Structure 1
Amino acid sequence: MVDTSQDDRVAEFRGVAGPYWSLRPIGGGPEWEAEPERVRTPTPAERLSAENARQNARSRGALR
């Protein structure tokens, strides 16, 4: 997912919290809540870039 209220930050959908969606950065980090109308599906390029960043973080040992 892409949160347009967070400078197009790419994240994983984690669940619903009341009227908000819980999102978590692809590369790890704290979750945040977003308004569903400000969230969109990532483009293939955004998805690839986020996955690349996640794999790089994993190879550095920042993710398990």
Structure 2
Amino acid sequence: MTTDGVPALGTYAVDGRNGRVGRVMGRVGTYVQLRPPGGGQEWDCPPGDVQPASMGEVLRARVREVNAEGRLP
């Protein structure tokens, strides 16, 4: 967790506006960028709406990423 309360880069977080879980990829301006588990397009979330992901949410996100990596083209 950073000093402003935003989860650290590379960790999982929840967008409090809609409940989506994503990996913290960075910051652009005043927004935190989150990427869905398994890849996909990043989205911006205001820092005040970013919450640390629970252990269960982290586990589900990791399973999605592993499943996405194992898919054949």
TM-score (normalised: structure 2): 0.76
Q: Does 1:33 align with 2:44?
A: yes
Task: Determine what percentage of the aligned residue pairs are the same residue.
Answer: 38
Q: Which residue of 2 aligns with 1:12?
A: 23
Which has the larger share of helix?
A: 1
Mapped pair 1:58 → 2:64: no
- Where has structure 1 moved over 6 Å in runs of 4 or more? none
Structure 2 residue 57 is the aligned partner of structure 1 residue 46: yes
Alignment RMSD, CA only?
A: 1.3
Q: Which runs of 5+ in 2 are unaligned?
A: 1-12
Partners of 1:20 and 1:61 lie apart in 2 by: 34
Unaligned runs of 5+ in 1: none
Aligned residues: 61
Aligned AA (1:3): D
